[in-house]
Amino acid sequence: MSAEPWSAQESIGEGGTPMVVAEGVHKRFGRLEVLRGIDLQVARREVVCIIGPSGSGKSTFLRCINHLEKINAGRLWVDGDLVGYREYGGRLHELREKEVCAERAQIGMVFQNFNLFPHMTVVENVIEAPVRVKKLHKDEAVALAKQLLDRTGMAEKANVYPKQLSGGQQQRVAIARALAMQPKLMLFDEPTSALDPELVGEVLGVMRDLAESGMTMIVVTHEMGFAREVGDSLMFMDDGLVVESGAPREVLANPSHDRTRAFLSKVL
């Protein structure tokens, strides 16, 4: 095991291919079109922040990347593999459940509402997936969990239940839980939106640390400060489309679209 458990994946694979590629991704819920053709490329070690008003499809797009939602049109690749499908003989074939799970196991996800397992202690939350999915030996998983909880500043709380933690602490455990699968990509779905203002900083601190260690990250957020300082690129979505994207400072300082300008004037 390497010294830094969460930077283990960065050297794997050819450095050239992007980590995530989206081409014309469409998603419908019934007759409601939530995504209307999203294109995106995320390079290795890149941190992409997605901003936009609620209902713009940010979270849905994030959930498509690990196949929690099936896309209706377009293509999505993570690390060169098509998400949820296999293409041969000119047709797409759905992956079996086991194969979908294997794809998801390499993508970490952090939710707005933390979604820690309330019937398990902090350390049990962290080792659950490594033991059940990766079939890691329990002692190894605990050792890994200890390291990750140490990095997220939660080592002291290893044996308490999530209910006994503050929101910020719960989210830091949730990040450690996702990292325990040693993912090559981390998805954050508004990780600080459910937190008291004074607890936001501790979670953003962990995420900044993670970004600096070289993790590829896609972050749906309303924290413009984080997007500006930590993000390598920024994407503004509205009504199922990417309105504009580019370097965060550029987009935040000189938005080129009226829609972006109108949104930023309300949140900044």
For 89-146, strand residue ranges (E) read: 91-94, 107-110
Of 144 and 251, CB closest to other proteins: 144
Place of tokens 């047709």: 91
Least separation, in Å, of the C-beta of 28 and other proteins? 19
Rule CB under 8 A: say whether 128 interacts with other proteins: yes
Of 187 and 243, CB closest to other proteins: 187
Least separation, in Å, of the C-beta of 53 and other proteins? 23
| Given 17, 39, 73, 117, the residue binding other proteins (CB under 8 A) | 117
Of 22 and 129, CB closest to other proteins: 129
Which is it for strands 233-238 and 241-246: parallel, antiparallel or unpaired?
antiparallel
| Given 73, 92, 101, 247, the residue binding other proteins (CB under 8 A) | 101
Which DSSP helix (H) or strand (E) runs through 202? Answer: helix 197-212
Stretch that binds other proteins, among 22-30, 113-121, 150-158, 245-253 (CB under 8 A): 113-121
Stretch that binds other proteins, among 16-24, 33-41, 128-136, 260-268 (CB under 8 A): 128-136
Interface with other proteins (CB under 8 A), residue total 32
Contacts (CB under 8 A) with other proteins, residues 137-156: none
Stretch that binds other proteins, among 79-87, 101-109, 211-219, 245-253 (CB under 8 A): 101-109
Of 171 and 233, CB closest to other proteins: 171
Least separation, in Å, of the C-beta of 199 and other proteins? 18
Rule CB under 8 A: say whether 135 interacts with other proteins: no
Contacts of 44 (CB under 8 A, 6+ apart): 10, 13, 15, 18, 19, 216
Of 164 and 256, CB closest to other proteins: 164
Helices 167-179 and 138-151 cross at an angle (nearest 10°) of 130
Contacts (CB under 8 A) with other proteins, residues 162-191: 162-164, 177-178, 181
Least separation, in Å, of the C-beta of 6 and other proteins? 15
Residue 211 C-beta-side C-alpha neighbours within 13 Å: 22
Of 135, 137, 110, nearest in space to 6 by CA: 110
- Please, is 241 exposed, middle or buried when counting C-beta atoms within 10 Å of its C-beta (0-12, 13-18, 19+)? middle
Contacts (CB under 8 A) with other proteins, residues 26-55: none
For residues 179 and 207, give the distance between their C-alpha atoms in angstroms, rounded to a whole number: 11
Of 77 and 161, CB closest to other proteins: 161
Question: Do the beta carbons of residue 126 and residue 152 sit within 8 Å?
Answer: no
For residues 50 and 118, give the distance between their C-alpha atoms in angstroms, rounded to a whole number: 29
Question: Do the beta carbons of residue 146 and residue 158 sit within 8 Å?
Answer: yes
Copy the structure tokens of residue 2.
């390497």
Q: Which residues bind other proteins (CB under 8 A)?
A: 66, 68, 97-98, 101-102, 104-109, 111, 113, 115-121, 128-129, 132-133, 161-164, 177-178, 181
